[in-house]
Every structure is written in structure tokens, then in C-alpha cells.
Amino acid sequence: MADFSNYDPNSVGNPNNNIFGLPTTEDDAKLVLMPVPWEVTVSYGAGTARAADAIFKASLQVDLFDPEFPDVWKQGFYMRPPDKKILMKSDYLRKEAELYIDYISKGEEVSANQFMTKTLKDVNEGGIFLNNWVYEQTKALLGRDKLVGLVGGDHSTPLGFMKAIGEKHGDFGVLQIDAHFDLRQAYEGFNYSHASIMYNALKEIPQLKTLVQAGIRDYGSDEWEYVRNSNFRVITYFDKDIRNRQYEGQSWKQIAEEIVSKLPEKVFISFDIDGLDRKLCPFTGTPVPGGFELEQVFYLFSKLHQSGKKIIGFDLNEVGIGGDTDWDANVGARVLYKLCNLLVTSNA
């Protein structure tokens, strides 16, 4: 346990301390946050690979008092520094992927171009490398009985973590907050695309029994067919349907409790920031009109906590970088703090 006897939680955040200004080390923290600076396959806006640094900086402005989860920070939160080698590999492969995406967007045949064939191979091998790296890192932390949260990066990043979670905890479900299904198979030819994370998780992690998605509002017909044929392994709450139910008199309380009821006893939260209204995340990689208010998602999390189901890990992804005020990082830091409090409280 960290020693907070001389720490004032109401003072200005000290940039020489760790996340949220806490004087915590990895050894004395109950929860370790692992940045994954990776965004190789993003198909629209970039910048998420550097989100962890921006969130860290913004976190110094977050007040530690959370009336729903008071003093949970005393259990200790620690964020590792982003791995520069991973970031460099991401930057290099991202440039390669951009050339490839531009090439195929014009209808060109990949097999007819030796350079593009090699590029596709390199990017796919990079995805395998990243998945294995995340798996080994998170497995080691879980083996030390640390609670773990992952901070991306794009939404491809948590696959290895989910595998480690399955091995540690057995059967579990995922609550996905997102604008997209992320159920595409090898999107744009990339096997481990950000648009394929849930397809790959369902395919490769046998312990993942149920995926409950909320906020979905942009998707392909192939993904819709996947959900329809999943025999309720995937349960989706579309943004439009949620709004229509509310317009017709149902409360968010009713809907949120229904969403929670579909989840099994152990739950992993996968939070793509584009599940929120874009005013809260204007620089996210693939913004879509519509989405949740932050209070709606926090209310859903409260209902999940009140249900007694155990939260076993989380990822926070697709936080963008841009603008004069670092607004995305500001919102991302507050989402991260709530997730940290929720995970630690659920494992008290």
C-alpha cells in the first residue's frame, strides 16, 4: 500500500508524481495502467497513439474526491510510461498502412504490386507482435495480483489483454461502449484492425461468452449479419433504439438495468471514446454524430456496480489529440478516473 500520510488530495497536482498527481509507485499500487501507443490501422484521424501522455497531463486537473467512490485512490493507481519502442514501431507501420489504404481505395489490385503485398504482410505481422506484447505485459501484471487497465491507442490494442483476462478469470463478458460494432473481418486487409477487435476477441478467446454493446450507430451489413447470427453471444443496444425508447416514455434507468442484466457475473469494460457525443471527443479517430452524454455512461457503470457483478479489467481507447485546450484528454482523464475507481471498488 502507498503511504499517503503526508499527501494532501486537495492540493495542486504535482507533475513529478504519477497519474492524477498521486505519489504512487508500481509496486505499491493496487491498479496499474498500461499505455499502448499503437494506431497502425486507423482509417481516418490519427493521434491516439500519444493519448496516454496527454491524459496523464490532463489528469493532474482531476479532483480526487468522487462522492460515489470516496477515497478509492488511496489503494494506489499507477500508470507506466509509454514504451517508446512500441510507439516508434507504430509510427513506422502507420506510414506504411497509409500508403496501402490510399492504394486500395483507388481500386488497385494488391497482388499486382510487390511493395503493397509486402506492406500488408508487415502490418499484419506488426499486429501479431503487438498482441503478443500486450498479452505478456498484462499476464505478468495479473500474475502479481495487480488490477490492470489498458490505455490506448486505437481499439485494436486490448486483444492480448482480453486473452490474459480470460486465462486469469475464466468465463467473462464484455461491456462495449462504442459508436461501431468493431466486428469486421480483416478490415481493409488488416487482420488486427481497430475495426476488427471484437470479431477477433470472439474468435480467439473461448472464455468470452457474451458481448454487450451500447451506443452503436455506424456499421456495415456484414457486421449486422454477424450479430443476427451470433445466437445472442452478441447483444447490441443501438444509439437510435435507445433514443426511440426514451422518446416513447422509457427511462434510462430501465434501459441501463436491462443492459446490465444481459452481462454475466464477470465483466470487462471496453470503452471506445467515440461512444460519446462528439462534443466530448472532437478529435477521436472515427467520429460519428449522436452518442452518449458522459453522465449516461457513468450512470450505466453505477448500475453495473450496484448489480454486484465483478468488474475484472478495462480498456480506454481512441482518445484523440488536438485543439488548443486538450479537451479530449480532459474528458479522457475523467473517464479513466471513473474506470479506475470502479475497478478497484469492485475488487475490494
**3-state SS string for the chain:** CCCCCCCCCCCCCCCCCCHHHCCCCCCCCCEEEEEECCCCCCCCCCCHHHHHHHHHHHHCCCCCCCCCCCCHHHHCEEECCCCHHHHHHHHHHHHHHHHHHHHHHCCCCHHHCHHHHHHHHHHHHHHHHHHHHHHHHHHHHHHCCCEEEEEECCCCCCHHHHHHHHHHHCCEEEEEECCECCCCCCHHHCCCCHHHHHHHHHHHCCCEEEEEEEEECECCHHHHHHHHCCCCCEEEEEHHHHHHHHHCCCCHHHHHHHHHHCCCCEEEEEEEHHHECHHHCCCCCCCCCCCECHHHHHHHHHHHHHCCCEEEEEEEECCCCCCCCCHHHHHHHHHHHHHHHHHHHHCC
Q: Is the pLDDT confidence value at 45 over 90?
A: no
Residue 5, pLDDT above cutoff 90: no
Is the Cβ–Cβ distance between 128 and 192 less than 8 Å? yes
**Structure confidence by residue, pLDDT tens digits, 247-267:** 999 999 999 999 999 999 999
127 domain residue, yes or no: yes
Does residue 113 fall inside a structural domain? Answer: yes
- At residue 6 the predicted structure's pLDDT band, cuts being 50, 70 and 90, is confident
Give the full edge-to-edge strand order of the sheet including 172-177.
77-79, 31-36, 147-152, 310-317, 266-272, 172-177, 208-216, 234-238
Burial 182-203 (b: 16+ CB within 10 A, else e): bbbeebbbbbbbbbbbbbbbbe
CATH of the domain at 41: 3.40.800.10
- Average pLDDT of 14-36? 96
Query: Is residue 43 pLDDT above 80, yes or no?
Result: no
Question: Are the beta carbons of 328 and 320 closer than 8 angstroms?
Answer: yes
Distances in Å between the Cα of 44 and the Cα atoms of 92, 146, 165 are 17, 35, 30
Would you say residue 336 has pLDDT above 80? Answer: yes
Residue 324's pLDDT is 77
Q: How far is residue 84 from each of residues 73, 91, 92, 93, 186, measured CA to CA in Å?
A: 28, 10, 12, 14, 27
**pLDDT digits 0-9 by tens, 190-202:** 999 999 999 999 9
Give me the pLDDT at residue 108, please. Answer: 84
Q: Which pLDDT band, with edges at 50, 70 and 90, does 72 fall under?
A: very high
Q: How confident is the model at residue 214 (pLDDT cuts 50, 70, 90)?
A: very high
Q: Is residue 186 part of a domain?
A: yes
Whole-number Cα distances in Å, 190 to 122, 172, 309: 10, 27, 35
For residue 339, name the pLDDT band (cuts at 50, 70, 90).
very high
Kindly report, residue by residue over 99-146, the tens digit of the pLDDT.
999 999 888 888 889 999 999 999 999 999 999 999 999 999 999 999
pLDDT the model gives residue 254: 98
Res 270: pLDDT: 98
| Mean pLDDT of the chain, nearest integer | 95
At 305, the pLDDT band (50, 70, 90 cuts) reads very high
Residue 67 is assigned to a structural domain of this protein: yes
For the chain, the domain total comes to 1
State mean pLDDT over 55-84.
96
Q: Which residue has the higher pLDDT, 302 or 106?
A: 302
CB 316, CB 301: distance < 8 Å: no
Of all residues in the chain, what percent carry a pLDDT higher than 90? Answer: 88
Q: What is the pLDDT of residue 44?
A: 75
| CA–CA gap between residue 284 and residue 78 (Å, rounded) | 24
Residue 75 covered by a domain? yes
**Share of residues in the chain with pLDDT > 70 (%):** 100
Q: Is residue 2 part of a domain?
A: no
Q: Is the pLDDT of residue 338 over 90?
A: yes
- Sorting pLDDT into bands at 50, 70 and 90, what band is 3? confident
Q: Are 61 and 14 in contact (CB under 8 A)?
A: no
Q: Which pLDDT tens digit goes with each residue over 286-301?
A: 999 999 999 999 999 9
Residue 232 pLDDT: 96
Is the pLDDT reported for residue 2 higher than 80? no
pLDDT in the model for residue 42 = 86
For residue 13, being part of any structural domain is answered with: no
The stretch 140-157 carries a mean pLDDT of 97
Residue with cell 480498456: 315
pLDDT tens-digit map of 161-185: 999 999 999 999 999 999 999 999 9
Which domain does 64 fall in, by range?
A: 19-346
Q: Is residue 5 part of a domain?
A: no
> Which residues contact residue 245 at a Cβ distance below 8 angstroms, ignoring those fewer than 6 apart?
255
Residue 76: name the closest of 137, 114, 41, 26 by CA: 26
User: Looking at residue 80, what is its pLDDT?
Assistant: 98
Query: What pLDDT does residue 192 have?
Result: 96
